[in-house]
Amino acid sequence: MIIVTGAVKSKPGALQEVLRLSLEHVRRSRLEPGCLLHSVHQDVEDANRVVFVEHWADRDALMTHFGVAESRAFAKALNALAIERPTLHTFDVIQSGP
Amino acid sequence: MIIVTGAVKSKPGALQEVLRLSLEHVRRSRLEPGCLLHSVHQDVEDANRVVFVEHWADRDALMTHFGVAESRAFAKALNALAIERPTLHTFDVIQSGP
């Protein structure tokens, strides 16, 4: 499985639009093949910091997700609403436990 | 590295206390050996769902963290404020990108 974490810090005044687009993205992504989890959160220490947690079955599913036109449009829109470059990290899970 | 994700759904009226205790826990945990990341968030789809994301250098550091008296007291307090049993998952990972 692949874990993806992403974070975007919203420009002042853009938070509601960031959240709206993020919810659209999350709900669309959940329907894609291999998407096991896709959620969006606000950092309790900074409500303008929006954090994504995703689980994908494998790298192929993730690469397909990144290639979806709506994913690319979302990334572009998010970038324009961010105060600094959004971050995205991917992790290969070797083992998982309770 | 180990990724830990945890989630707790707050009882009605208990959210502010959940957030207060969670921030205390996050800030204390960050000072522990091997803690690379420890953050707390609210799910955008359900503000009463509080989600932790943690990165630990290795399993030994995580086991030590779980054994700290304050961590155990925090888990117990959180449990009492939760509408359902909090979840916690651990993942051994290799960072794969970027």
Other Cβ atoms closer than 10 A to B67: 9
Inter-residue contact B40 to B22 (CB < 8 Å) = yes
The token pair at A64 is: 């397909």
- Model confidence over B31-88: pLDDT tens digits? 999 999 999 999 999 999 999 999 999 999 999 999 999 999 999 999 999 999 999 9
pTM for this one?
Answer: 0.96
A43 touches B: beta carbon within 8 Å: yes
A80 vs B: CB within 8 A: no
Read off the pLDDT of each residue in A25-32 and give the average, rounded to a whole number.
98
Stretch (H or E) spanning A59: helix A59-67
User: Hey, what amino acid is at A14?
Assistant: A
- Partners of residue A45 in chain B, C-beta under 8 Å: 23, 26, 39-40
Chain B residues in contact with A5 by the CB 8 A cut-off are 53
**Cβ within 8 Å, pair B92-A95:** yes
pLDDT digits (tens, 9 = 90+) for A47-61: 999 999 999 999 999
A50 CB neighbours in chain B (<8 A) are 44
| Three state DSSP letters for B12-55 | CCCHHHHHHHHHHHHHHHCCCCCEEEEEEEEECCEEEEEEEEEE
Q: What is the mean pLDDT of chain A?
A: 97
- The average pLDDT across B21-37 equals 98
Which of B40, B41, B93 is facing A92, going by the closest CB pair?
Answer: B93
Residue numbers in A near B96 (CB within 8 A): 2, 59, 90-92
B7: how many CB neighbours lie within 10 A of its CB? 19
